Amino acid sequence: MKVLFVYPRFERHAEAHPELLDHVPLNEYLGSPSLGIACMAALVPSDWDVEYRDDRLSPADTPTDADLVALSVFTPAATRALELARAFRAQGRTVVAGGIFPTAMPEAFAPHVDSVVLGEGEATWPALLSDLASGSLRSVYRAEAACDLSTLPLPDLSHYLAAETDRFRPDDYPLQISRGCPLACPACMVPAVMGAEQRAFPMTHVLGQVRQIREAGRRACLTEDTSWFPSRAGRRHLVAVLDALVQSGQAGAFSYVGTSMPLVLATPRAVLEKVRQAGVPMFYLVGGFDPVTTRAFTGQDDQALQRALDAVAKAWDAGIEPYTSFLLGGDQDDEGTVDRMLEFAARAGIRKAEFAIATPYPGTPSWRRLSEEGRILTREWRLYNDANVVFRPARMTPDQLLRGYLRLWKEFYADKQHLRDLPRDERTIQF
């Protein structure tokens, strides 16, 4: 038996708006695939063959002899994933889809695939492969309970590494130290997919992930800001990981760590010092979802603005660069928000930033609320990439929001052409 894993392509910011390439003096960052396929590949029986195709690098819908085609899908890739599913079924292949989008919108995929996987894939993937081999594949596989993380093998990155080319060699690969989240943030699907309880991977598993990333000559990126939650599965676990890396001589294993302004403010300076000692050069500061960044740029909350300035200053003081993500289009935002964001970035001394349009992803609280309010403008999933307006804003027109988003990119980087001279690993940005 043979399984073909496919990572569908999706439209990035600079593909949606090519003019950004003339204004942003940094390299467009393609990035490594998500961990979903690597996690499933690690559970494929040893007597099966595995093939992997990255549709971002070359069209994946060429003929295959695989018994099963498995698509890993998040929202902006859903349009292409549906095209791929239809193409592979036309070749007579059995197709299954899993990931965030099929979990949120199984009805969108069910007519076009043979089976849909809902929730954490590891919970049902072995049963799905067994059923396929016996000719009894079901149309839906649903994770009924959260996975026991202590039982999971390391993600199999070998197929990703083998797919690299001279023009595609990611600087880093994602590291996962926990799953699940007890919060219910408006724009997040994590609780729905991974559960509302935050669970930590065993230390041996985390260090094993770091080891295989480092052996491949890469660094690890820790994208989830849940790693900073002050809990046993959050910040305490992260600090233990950092300590273990320093003690084992692996300081410098991270390219960046994701967090937010409120979490930086709540982090003791002694912990930030540990982060720096572990060689973490950069924070990816997620904005637009928390009580600080949703209020700081309204022009009406000086306290929130000062807290945002304090958060960035605290990161700089710790020797960690605050690569900041600004979200435009929340119900509190108006046309003046653009100027206020640019003024803040200048005051705070932010060197690298990215800008995104608020996007109500299917399955999230934002999606449900805006759907009920009749504010969803399109279900063309490729547009759900933070670079297009897919809903009716509260205090702007869709066109005003789009123009404001483009102006943020252009004006922020207007005086930063010197960034072109940075070392390669500091010269990339997600846009």
Query: In CATH, which of 3.40.50.2300, 3.40.50.150, 3.90.1150.10, 3.40.50.720 is domain 2-10+33-142?
Result: 3.40.50.2300
Question: Helix or strand or coil: residue 424?
Answer: helix
For the chain, the domains span: 2-10+33-142, 154-429
**Mean pLDDT for all residues in the chain:** 94
Q: What is this structure's pTM?
A: 0.94
Question: Helix or strand or coil: residue 322?
Answer: strand
Tokens standing for 120?
């954490």
In one letter, which amino acid is 74? Answer: F
Crossing angle for the helix pair 269-277 and 235-247, nearest 10 degrees?
40
Task: Specify the pLDDT at position 304.
Answer: 98
Contact 413, 346 (CB under 8 A): no
Torsion sign (Cα): 249, 252, 253, 257: positive
Phi, psi torsion values for 190, nearest 5 degrees:
-55, -50
Task: Specify the pLDDT at position 232.
Answer: 84
The mean pLDDT of 390-417, rounded to a whole number, is 96
Contact 255, 282 (CB under 8 A): yes
Q: Which fold has domain 154-429?
A: pyruvate-formate lyase- activating enzyme (3.80.30)
Question: Helix or strand or coil: residue 224?
Answer: coil
d(CA 317, CA 340): 23
Going by pLDDT thresholds of 50, 70 and 90, the confidence category of residue 67 is very high
pLDDT in tens, 233-275: 888 999 999 999 999 988 999 999 999 999 999 999 999 999 9
